[in-house]
Amino acid sequence: MNRKFNVIIIILLLLNAMRHGYLLFSEGYTAGSVILLLLSAVLAGYLYIKEFQEKK
């Protein structure tokens, strides 16, 4: 994939994870927020490792 596209996706996934983290702590435990928070964080980490660690 294009490097700029991956950076944008990583930023959007981290923002999504932060939003679901805020919802989790402000509104209480909801299964959807927990699942989407974990999924966003894992996907952002995977893309970061794939994009930046393999380029070295």
Inform me whether the pLDDT recorded for 56 exceeds 60. no
**Furthest CA-CA distance within the chain:** 42
Q: Quote the pLDDT of residue 53.
A: 79
Q: Quote the pLDDT of residue 55.
A: 62
Task: Report the C-alpha gap between 7 and 5 in whole angstroms.
Answer: 5
pLDDT single digits (tens) 8-53: 888 888 888 888 888 778 877 777 777 888 888 888 888 888 887 7
Task: Kindly state the tokens that stand for 34.
Answer: 């927990």
Decide: pTM greater than 0.85: no
Q: What is the DSSP string of 36-48?
A: HHHHHHHHHHHHH
**Around Cβ 17, how many Cβ atoms within 10 Å?**
20
Which of the two residues, 33 and 56, has the higher pLDDT score?
Answer: 33
